[in-house]
Amino acid sequence: MATTRPFALLSEFDKPADVMDAAEKVRDAGFTKWDVHTPYPIHGMDSAMGLGNSKVGWFTFIGGHSHRRQTDV
């Protein structure tokens, strides 16, 4: 018999600390493909979810500095 895992789960919390606690518990349970949605950013949520540093800043920096203006040609 095959074991089943939840496909989707939706929760609502009253305080940011409760969201952080739930995110840490989901991470510690071993789930890898999940996300948190809040109406405002919560400081520390990336580490609570176990996410590493994003490379978006580096791509933006390199793209911004590699752009040539028409007067430079």
Question: CA 2, CA 13: separation in Å to the nearest integer?
Answer: 32
Tokens linked to 48: 């609570």
Exposed / middle / buried, residue 3 (Cβ in 10 Å: 0-12, 13-18, 19+):
exposed
Supply the mean pLDDT for the chain.
Answer: 86
**pTM of the full predicted structure?**
0.66
pLDDT digits (tens, 9 = 90+) for 18-28: 999 999 999 99
Longest dimension (CA), the chain: 69
